[in-house]
Amino acid sequence: MGSAIDTAIFDLGGVLIDWSPYHLYRKLFNSDADIDHFFQEIDFFNYLSGIDADRPFRSSIEELAAQKPNLAEPILAYWHRWPETIKGTFDDTLAVVAELREQGIPLYVISNWSSETWQHAKTFPFLEWFNGIVISGLERVAKPNQVIFKIACERYDLRPETCVFIDDIEDNVDSANNFGFHGIQFQDTPSLRKQFIELGLLT
Which domain-ending residue is among 61, 85, 109?
85
Separation of alpha carbons 138 and 34, rounded Å: 33
CB 6 within 8 A of CB 157: no
Strand partners, 111: 135
Q: Are residues 81 and 93 in the same domain?
A: no
Same domain, 68 and 159: no
Q: By residue range, what is the domain housing residue 13?
A: 7-18+88-198
Which pLDDT does position 50 carry in this prediction? 80
Per-residue pLDDT of the chain (203 residues; tens, 9 = 90+): 457 999 999 999 999 999 999 999 999 999 999 999 999 999 988 877 788 887 889 998 999 999 999 999 999 999 999 999 999 999 999 999 999 999 999 999 999 999 999 999 999 999 999 999 999 999 999 999 999 999 999 999 999 999 999 999 999 999 999 999 999 999 999 999 999 999 999 99
- Cα dihedral 35→192→121→82 (10° resolution): 0
The Cα 1–Cα 81 span in angstroms is 50
Short-list 91, 136, 145, CA closest to 117 = 136
Question: Is 176 within 8 Å of 183 (Cβ atoms)?
Answer: yes
Q: What is the pLDDT of residue 170?
A: 97
d(CA 90, CA 85): 14
Q: Are residues 14 and 24 in the same domain?
A: no
Residues 44 and 80 in one domain: yes
What pLDDT was estimated at residue 65? 94
Phi, psi (rounded to 5 degrees) for 106: -60, 135
Q: Identify the pLDDT of residue 2.
A: 54
The residues that bridge with 166 in the sheet, in sequence order, are 10, 184
Phi, psi of 9 (to 5 degrees): -120, 130
Neighbours of 76 (CB within 10 A): 16
Query: Is residue 169 included in any domain, yes or no?
Result: yes
* CATH assignment of the domain containing 193: 3.40.50.1000
**Residue length of the chain:** 203
Query: Using only C-alpha atoms, what is the Rg of the chain?
Result: 18
Identify any residues that bridge with 164 across adjacent strands, giving them in sequence order.
8, 182
Domain end marker among 53, 85, 117: 85
Q: How far is CA 18 from CA 14, 55, 110, 139, 143, in A?
A: 6, 23, 16, 23, 19
The pLDDT score that the predictor gives to residue 128 is 97
